[in-house]
Amino acid sequence: MLTNRVQKARLAYSKRSLEETKKAHSHKAFDEEQAQEGHGDYVGDMVYGALDGIVTTFAVVAGAAGAGLSAGIIIILGFANLLADGLSMAAGNYLSMKSEQDYFKREREREAWEVENYPEGEVEEIRQIYRRKGFSGQTLEQLVGLITSKKSVWVDTMMVEELGMIPAQKSPLKAGAYTYFAFLIAGFVPLMVFVVSFFYPIENSLAFPIALALTFITIFAVGSLRSLVIAKNWFEAGIEMLLIGGLTAIISFGIGVFLSGLVPI
Protein backbone atom coordinates (compact mmCIF):
# COMPACT_ATOMS: atom_id res chain seq x y z
CA MET A 1 0.00 0.00 0.00
CA LEU A 2 1.10 3.59 -0.63
CA THR A 3 2.15 5.33 2.57
CA ASN A 4 0.70 8.71 3.45
CA ARG A 5 4.10 10.30 2.84
CA VAL A 6 4.38 8.78 -0.64
CA GLN A 7 0.84 9.89 -1.45
CA LYS A 8 1.75 13.43 -0.44
CA ALA A 9 4.90 13.26 -2.55
CA ARG A 10 2.95 12.12 -5.62
CA LEU A 11 0.31 14.79 -5.07
CA ALA A 12 3.08 17.38 -4.81
CA TYR A 13 4.60 16.11 -8.06
CA SER A 14 1.22 16.29 -9.84
CA LYS A 15 1.09 19.98 -8.85
CA ARG A 16 4.82 20.43 -9.53
CA SER A 17 4.94 22.01 -6.07
CA LEU A 18 8.47 22.17 -4.70
CA GLU A 19 7.22 23.38 -1.31
CA GLU A 20 4.90 20.36 -0.85
CA THR A 21 7.65 18.05 -2.11
CA LYS A 22 9.99 19.37 0.60
CA LYS A 23 7.33 18.72 3.26
CA ALA A 24 6.85 15.15 2.03
CA HIS A 25 10.60 14.55 2.36
CA SER A 26 11.08 16.27 5.72
CA HIS A 27 12.29 14.58 8.90
CA LYS A 28 8.83 15.17 10.39
CA ALA A 29 7.16 13.29 7.52
CA PHE A 30 9.51 10.33 7.98
CA ASP A 31 8.96 10.33 11.77
CA GLU A 32 5.17 10.39 11.33
CA GLU A 33 5.38 7.56 8.81
CA GLN A 34 7.43 5.48 11.26
CA ALA A 35 4.94 6.15 14.07
CA GLN A 36 1.99 5.16 11.88
CA GLU A 37 3.67 2.04 10.50
CA GLY A 38 1.18 -0.82 10.28
CA HIS A 39 -1.95 1.36 10.22
CA GLY A 40 -3.97 0.99 7.04
CA ASP A 41 -1.81 -1.82 5.69
CA TYR A 42 -4.91 -3.84 4.88
CA VAL A 43 -6.79 -1.19 2.90
CA GLY A 44 -5.72 -2.88 -0.34
CA ASP A 45 -7.09 -6.23 0.81
CA MET A 46 -10.39 -4.61 1.80
CA VAL A 47 -10.72 -2.68 -1.46
CA TYR A 48 -10.10 -5.66 -3.71
CA GLY A 49 -12.23 -7.93 -1.52
CA ALA A 50 -15.10 -5.45 -1.73
CA LEU A 51 -14.72 -5.03 -5.49
CA ASP A 52 -14.73 -8.75 -6.09
CA GLY A 53 -17.63 -9.24 -3.69
CA ILE A 54 -19.95 -6.73 -5.28
CA VAL A 55 -19.11 -7.57 -8.89
CA THR A 56 -19.36 -11.36 -8.58
CA THR A 57 -22.51 -11.28 -6.43
CA PHE A 58 -24.19 -8.83 -8.77
CA ALA A 59 -23.23 -11.02 -11.71
CA VAL A 60 -25.14 -13.88 -10.05
CA VAL A 61 -28.09 -11.61 -9.19
CA ALA A 62 -28.19 -10.14 -12.69
CA GLY A 63 -28.12 -13.57 -14.30
CA ALA A 64 -30.89 -14.86 -12.03
CA ALA A 65 -33.02 -11.75 -12.52
CA GLY A 66 -32.50 -11.97 -16.26
CA ALA A 67 -33.81 -15.53 -16.12
CA GLY A 68 -36.92 -14.31 -14.31
CA LEU A 69 -36.26 -16.23 -11.08
CA SER A 70 -38.12 -15.36 -7.89
CA ALA A 71 -36.68 -13.19 -5.12
CA GLY A 72 -36.28 -16.27 -2.90
CA ILE A 73 -34.17 -18.12 -5.44
CA ILE A 74 -32.12 -15.00 -6.17
CA ILE A 75 -31.42 -14.64 -2.43
CA ILE A 76 -30.33 -18.29 -2.16
CA LEU A 77 -28.02 -18.05 -5.18
CA GLY A 78 -26.66 -14.69 -4.06
CA PHE A 79 -25.87 -15.75 -0.51
CA ALA A 80 -24.37 -19.03 -1.69
CA ASN A 81 -21.99 -17.05 -3.89
CA LEU A 82 -21.39 -14.48 -1.17
CA LEU A 83 -20.36 -17.01 1.47
CA ALA A 84 -18.54 -19.56 -0.70
CA ASP A 85 -16.77 -17.24 -3.14
CA GLY A 86 -15.84 -14.85 -0.32
CA LEU A 87 -14.30 -17.68 1.67
CA SER A 88 -12.46 -18.90 -1.41
CA MET A 89 -11.03 -15.46 -2.12
CA ALA A 90 -10.01 -14.94 1.52
CA ALA A 91 -8.34 -18.35 1.65
CA GLY A 92 -6.55 -17.65 -1.62
CA ASN A 93 -5.27 -14.32 -0.33
CA TYR A 94 -4.09 -15.94 2.91
CA LEU A 95 -2.32 -18.82 1.18
CA SER A 96 -0.71 -16.57 -1.42
CA MET A 97 0.66 -14.17 1.18
CA LYS A 98 1.73 -17.01 3.51
CA SER A 99 3.57 -18.74 0.66
CA GLU A 100 5.39 -15.53 -0.28
CA GLN A 101 6.44 -14.94 3.32
CA ASP A 102 7.60 -18.54 3.77
CA TYR A 103 9.64 -18.29 0.57
CA PHE A 104 11.15 -14.98 1.69
CA LYS A 105 12.06 -16.50 5.07
CA ARG A 106 13.80 -19.48 3.46
CA GLU A 107 15.76 -17.29 1.07
CA ARG A 108 16.81 -14.94 3.86
CA GLU A 109 17.99 -17.88 5.96
CA ARG A 110 20.04 -19.08 2.99
CA GLU A 111 21.61 -15.65 2.47
CA ALA A 112 22.40 -15.38 6.20
CA TRP A 113 24.04 -18.82 6.12
CA GLU A 114 26.15 -17.84 3.10
CA VAL A 115 27.22 -14.60 4.79
CA GLU A 116 28.21 -16.58 7.88
CA ASN A 117 29.97 -19.45 6.11
CA TYR A 118 31.27 -17.93 2.88
CA PRO A 119 31.70 -14.20 3.58
CA GLU A 120 34.35 -13.64 0.90
CA GLY A 121 31.92 -14.78 -1.81
CA GLU A 122 29.13 -12.57 -0.48
CA VAL A 123 31.50 -9.60 -0.21
CA GLU A 124 32.37 -10.04 -3.87
CA GLU A 125 28.67 -10.18 -4.78
CA ILE A 126 28.10 -6.86 -2.99
CA ARG A 127 31.10 -5.42 -4.82
CA GLN A 128 29.80 -6.55 -8.22
CA ILE A 129 26.28 -5.29 -7.49
CA TYR A 130 27.50 -1.76 -6.79
CA ARG A 131 30.13 -1.84 -9.51
CA ARG A 132 27.24 -2.36 -11.96
CA LYS A 133 25.61 0.71 -10.45
CA GLY A 134 28.62 2.78 -11.50
CA PHE A 135 30.74 2.86 -8.34
CA SER A 136 34.47 2.16 -8.53
CA GLY A 137 37.80 2.55 -6.80
CA GLN A 138 37.97 3.76 -3.22
CA THR A 139 34.31 4.84 -3.17
CA LEU A 140 33.23 1.32 -4.12
CA GLU A 141 35.43 -0.28 -1.45
CA GLN A 142 34.16 2.12 1.23
CA LEU A 143 30.58 1.33 0.26
CA VAL A 144 31.24 -2.42 0.35
CA GLY A 145 32.93 -2.06 3.73
CA LEU A 146 30.02 -0.11 5.21
CA ILE A 147 27.38 -2.58 4.01
CA THR A 148 29.27 -5.69 5.08
CA SER A 149 30.17 -4.25 8.50
CA LYS A 150 26.68 -5.08 9.80
CA LYS A 151 25.33 -8.54 8.97
CA SER A 152 21.64 -7.65 9.12
CA VAL A 153 22.16 -4.79 6.65
CA TRP A 154 24.36 -7.05 4.53
CA VAL A 155 21.71 -9.77 4.31
CA ASP A 156 18.91 -7.25 3.71
CA THR A 157 20.93 -5.70 0.89
CA MET A 158 21.47 -9.09 -0.72
CA MET A 159 17.75 -9.84 -0.49
CA VAL A 160 16.82 -6.62 -2.27
CA GLU A 161 19.69 -6.16 -4.70
CA GLU A 162 20.42 -9.78 -5.64
CA LEU A 163 16.98 -11.39 -5.33
CA GLY A 164 14.69 -8.38 -5.67
CA MET A 165 12.73 -9.43 -2.58
CA ILE A 166 11.22 -7.03 -0.03
CA PRO A 167 9.74 -8.37 3.23
CA ALA A 168 5.96 -8.15 3.66
CA GLN A 169 4.89 -6.73 7.01
CA LYS A 170 1.25 -7.83 6.86
CA SER A 171 -0.29 -10.79 8.66
CA PRO A 172 -1.68 -13.33 6.14
CA LEU A 173 -4.47 -14.22 8.59
CA LYS A 174 -5.54 -10.59 9.02
CA ALA A 175 -5.32 -9.99 5.28
CA GLY A 176 -7.60 -12.96 4.63
CA ALA A 177 -10.06 -11.81 7.32
CA TYR A 178 -10.21 -8.25 6.00
CA THR A 179 -10.73 -9.58 2.49
CA TYR A 180 -13.58 -11.84 3.58
CA PHE A 181 -15.50 -9.26 5.61
CA ALA A 182 -15.11 -6.61 2.89
CA PHE A 183 -16.36 -9.18 0.37
CA LEU A 184 -19.42 -9.93 2.54
CA ILE A 185 -20.31 -6.31 3.23
CA ALA A 186 -19.97 -5.03 -0.34
CA GLY A 187 -21.38 -8.22 -1.85
CA PHE A 188 -24.57 -7.83 0.20
CA VAL A 189 -25.45 -4.57 -1.58
CA PRO A 190 -26.92 -6.20 -4.75
CA LEU A 191 -28.96 -8.55 -2.54
CA MET A 192 -30.47 -5.94 -0.21
CA VAL A 193 -33.49 -5.06 -2.32
CA PHE A 194 -34.30 -8.73 -2.95
CA VAL A 195 -34.10 -9.48 0.78
CA VAL A 196 -36.52 -6.63 1.39
CA SER A 197 -38.80 -7.81 -1.42
CA PHE A 198 -38.90 -11.29 0.13
CA PHE A 199 -40.72 -9.80 3.14
CA TYR A 200 -42.37 -6.85 1.39
CA PRO A 201 -43.01 -8.00 -2.19
CA ILE A 202 -41.49 -5.83 -4.90
CA GLU A 203 -41.79 -6.72 -8.57
CA ASN A 204 -38.55 -7.88 -10.18
CA SER A 205 -39.12 -5.24 -12.83
CA LEU A 206 -38.61 -2.66 -10.06
CA ALA A 207 -36.30 -4.57 -7.72
CA PHE A 208 -33.62 -5.18 -10.32
CA PRO A 209 -33.23 -1.51 -11.39
CA ILE A 210 -32.95 -0.53 -7.71
CA ALA A 211 -30.31 -3.23 -7.16
CA LEU A 212 -28.56 -2.04 -10.31
CA ALA A 213 -28.45 1.58 -9.10
CA LEU A 214 -27.23 0.64 -5.60
CA THR A 215 -24.60 -1.66 -7.07
CA PHE A 216 -23.27 0.90 -9.53
CA ILE A 217 -23.05 3.56 -6.82
CA THR A 218 -21.17 1.16 -4.55
CA ILE A 219 -18.89 -0.03 -7.36
CA PHE A 220 -17.95 3.58 -8.09
CA ALA A 221 -17.39 4.34 -4.38
CA VAL A 222 -15.25 1.25 -3.77
CA GLY A 223 -13.45 1.72 -7.08
CA SER A 224 -12.58 5.25 -6.01
CA LEU A 225 -10.91 3.81 -2.91
CA ARG A 226 -8.42 2.13 -5.25
CA SER A 227 -6.70 5.51 -5.35
CA LEU A 228 -5.43 4.62 -1.86
CA VAL A 229 -3.47 1.67 -3.23
CA ILE A 230 -2.67 2.74 -6.79
CA ALA A 231 -1.31 5.98 -8.19
CA LYS A 232 -4.53 7.08 -9.89
CA ASN A 233 -7.07 9.88 -9.50
CA TRP A 234 -10.06 8.76 -7.36
CA PHE A 235 -12.65 9.74 -9.98
CA GLU A 236 -10.78 7.99 -12.77
CA ALA A 237 -10.37 4.87 -10.62
CA GLY A 238 -14.09 4.90 -9.80
CA ILE A 239 -15.18 5.33 -13.41
CA GLU A 240 -12.82 2.58 -14.57
CA MET A 241 -14.27 0.13 -12.06
CA LEU A 242 -17.81 1.24 -12.86
CA LEU A 243 -17.28 0.47 -16.55
CA ILE A 244 -15.85 -2.97 -15.80
CA GLY A 245 -18.58 -3.78 -13.29
CA GLY A 246 -21.28 -2.46 -15.61
CA LEU A 247 -20.05 -4.58 -18.50
CA THR A 248 -20.04 -7.64 -16.24
CA ALA A 249 -23.61 -6.90 -15.17
CA ILE A 250 -24.87 -6.45 -18.73
CA ILE A 251 -23.23 -9.67 -19.91
CA SER A 252 -24.55 -11.64 -16.92
CA PHE A 253 -28.07 -10.29 -17.35
CA GLY A 254 -27.98 -11.10 -21.07
CA ILE A 255 -26.81 -14.66 -20.38
CA GLY A 256 -29.66 -15.11 -17.90
CA VAL A 257 -32.25 -13.90 -20.41
CA PHE A 258 -30.78 -16.10 -23.14
CA LEU A 259 -30.67 -19.26 -21.01
CA SER A 260 -34.18 -18.69 -19.67
CA GLY A 261 -35.42 -19.09 -23.22
CA LEU A 262 -33.60 -22.41 -23.64
CA VAL A 263 -34.06 -24.04 -20.25
CA PRO A 264 -37.55 -24.31 -18.72
CA ILE A 265 -37.71 -22.83 -15.20
In 59-80, which positions are buried (b, 16+ CB within 10 angstroms) versus exposed (e)?
Answer: bbbbbbbbbebebeebbebbbe
Distance CA 58, CA 61 (A): 5
Element containing residue 161 per DSSP (H, E): helix 151-161
Q: Which range has the worst mean pLDDT, 3-12, 110-119, 162-171?
A: 3-12
Q: What angle, 0 to 180 degrees and rounded to 10, lies between the N-to-C axes of helices 43-66 and 189-199? A: 50
Q: Kindly indicate the confidence band of residue 37, based on its pLDDT and cuts at 50, 70 and 90.
A: very low
Amino acid at 251: I
56 within 8 A of 85, measured Cβ to Cβ: yes
pLDDT digits (tens, 9 = 90+) for 134-185: 888 889 999 899 898 888 888 988 888 888 888 777 889 999 999 999 999 9
Where in the chain are the domains? 1-37, 44-124+165-260
pTM, rounded to two decimals: 0.73
